Homo-oligomer: A and B are copies of this chain.
Amino acid sequence: MADTGIIAIGSYNDNDADALDEIGAVRVPSLADALALPEAERATVKAIAYKSGASIDGEVLDAFPALGLLSNFGVGYDAIDVAAATARDVAVTNTPDVLNDDVADLAVGMLLMQMRRMRQADAHVRSGMWAEGQPFPLNRKMSGARVGILGLGRIGFEIANRLAAFKMDVHYWSRSSKETPAWTWHDSPSALAEAVDLLVVAVVGGPETENIVSKEVLDALGADGVLVNISRGSTVDEAALLDALEGGRLAGAALDVFENEPKIDPRFAALEEVVLQPHQGSATHTTRAAMGCLQRANIEAFLKGDTLLTRVN
């Protein structure tokens, strides 16, 4: 084990791997590999750079008895049992804010791509059908539509600000109403879905929001409704979503996150009116570099005894 006491778990790109090597991190591809290290090595681990969706509970934490910091790559840390970490005096950090713009950009792009059927339109041109004189069908106007943001946190705000520039009528749900421009708060996810045609899910993951987009919410969204999810696959009742899409009780969806990703339900690939993205909300060079930087900055602060930059517990 490196005497720095740092291990990096997960699949890092070359730049991040180099930077982790520079701070003396031992890199292992998965949590299982980390747990398979000899007990004596695990006992020296003080800080973990984490980039994985594999669950970390109290039992996993107990395998690293000297651990003081779990530095997560990503804003969502629903894979980590934070209460268990706190109980063991393990600090948890994430990489918020630096990815808000990218995730919001993708959400808007997905909504436009779904409503204007841009994937199908590109295929229509690329296949030569347009050149043969076959017209492409009309689609739906986005500007001016009523949109709901489910979860008005930092990312939700970024999405709403962008959609407001499309002259959209912005509605939202969050646990309490917030100080916003002329946006309308609703007191439940169903009430929000009832009021809008387009619903963008931007809540945090975790047990509290599991299946918050229930069959009831999808029914309220209705046959003209479009669902966009850039949060976590766990927030949507996927069986109900697939049933609604296949049954024509929902017009379409644009999804960057899924249950069991990347091994997603094969029923999705058969659907025409959905946009499918490989959980790439924050996947730009610029933003991933910033996320890696922040992850390592938390580790360096921890090792120096400084205040952590983005602690969540």
Q: Hey, which bits of chain A sit against chain B, CB under 8 A?
A: 11, 13, 101-102, 104-106, 108-110, 112-113, 116, 118-119, 121-122, 124-128, 130-131, 133, 135-136, 138-144, 161-162, 164-167, 261-264, 266, 268-269, 275-278, 280, 283-288
Contact = CB atoms under 8 A, between A and B. Distances in A.
A158 to B, nearest CB: 8
Contacts of A263: 131
Contacts of A286: 140-141
A137 B23 CA distance: 25
Contacts of A112: 105-106, 108-109, 112-113
Report the copy number of this chain in the oligomer: 2
Given A130-B262, A144-B101, A121 B277 contact: yes
Contact of A284 (B108, B126, B140, B162): B140
Contact of A139 (B126, B143, B261, B280): B280
Contact of A275 (B118, B166, B287): B118
A130 B262 CA distance: 6
A288 B102 CA distance: 32
A277 B138 contact: no
